[in-house]
Structure 1
Amino acid sequence: MSSNTDIPLAPRKAEEDVWKYPRPPALRRTPNRLRVVWTAIDGSETVIADTTEGYRVLETTHPPTYYLPPSSIKVPLKQTSKQTYCEWKGKAFYHTFNPPSSSISIENRIWSYPKPTAGFAPLKDYLSFYASTGISENEAGGKWKCYVDDEEVGVQEGDFYGGWITSNIKGKMKGGPGTWGW
């Protein structure tokens, strides 16, 4: 098994074109601080995750998907029954987050790979978050915000992929209407 230092470090805030990302996807360490913060409707905040020890997965036409170590998770998560399969990373398992002061659970918007394929072995048990909760702020009693350093990320269009879009990520991205056949 390779060590963490064998995986290349991604550049910090360099402009990147998603059409220049590789296929099959590449795993990169990231020097950036990654955070997920729950903001309740009353404005109170709860840190869900915070790390400088994350990874990015880069794939042609996709914004980076970020993975955070289990040690960065500051709130309890519960595994759900949902599972999906990625041809590159293996079987994904999904998780539920119960926001403070909310009666609604955020389900299946966080995933992990307990037994990833060999090429993605460092991602074992790391967690990835969609950039949005997938339900309205009013219904959920708030929303989570995902950050790369101090920049709140944008949401990859569509609801299948979980990429985080920052101001340095450029190019037409897969996920929205008309892009599935690429």
Structure 2
Amino acid sequence: MESVWDYPRPPALEPVARPIRIVFAGRVVAETSAAFRVLETSHPPVYYLPRAAFTGCDLEPAPGRSVCEWKGEARYWTIRAGGLVAERAAWGYPDPTPPFAAIRDHLAVYAGAMDRCFVGDEAVTPQPGGFYGGWITGDLVGPFKGGPGSMGW
């Protein structure tokens, strides 16, 4: 078991050993064995896939930006597939800070906006709250930031 309370702050970046798969509109829209995950205290991991892994969908720039004190400025993407649209369902850091340079040209996806997201063969649960984009797997122990009353953690 892995406790999110053992994750560091500032966050750590590590390669992912298991394949990652994202399903939207009933089709695989992204798949890779070359993902990274960001591990931050109290958060389930956020998975970043190479942009080239998104072969089963169209990606369109979406309005808005946000800033992470650790990774830099994020830009958002809309995912279109099979006639369905997931607005601002993905984000990435086009010019990340040096410790996160490996996730340049990578995108993370809100699991709750997709049909299913998988780490290996396991379907993930989205991080609670809708603001953060972590993916919860069965080997994680919380509590997880994002739910009611956790914004001040």
On whether the aligned pair clears a TM of 0.5, the verdict is yes
Matched letter for residue 107 of structure 1:
E
TM-score (norm 1): 0.81
Matched letter for residue 160 of structure 1:
F
Aligned to 1:73: 54
2:12 to 13, 26, 30: 26
Q: CA deviation at 1:109?
A: 1.4
Query: Comparing both structures, which one devotes a greater share of its residues to strand?
Result: 2
Structure 1 runs of 4+ with >4 Å offset: none
Check conservation: 2:29, 2:81, Cα contact below 8 A: no
Structure 1 unmatched runs, 5+: 1-14, 134-142
1:83 aligns with 2:65: yes
Aligned to 2:83: 101
1:53 aligns with 2:39: no
Structure 2 unmatched runs, 5+: none
> Aligned pairs, how many?
152
Aligned to 2:2: 16
Partner of 1:68: helix, strand, or coil? strand
1:149 to 99, 104, 120: 120
1:64 to 33, 41, 45: 45
Take 1:118 and 1:88, find their aligned partners in 2: how far apart are those partners? 10
The CA RMSD over aligned residues, in Å, is 1.0
Matched letter for residue 82 of structure 2:
P
**Identity of paired residues, percent?**
47
Take 2:79 and 2:58, find their aligned partners in 1: how far apart are those partners? 7
Matched letter for residue 170 of structure 1:
V
Q: CA deviation at 1:98?
A: 1.6
Larger radius of gyration: 1
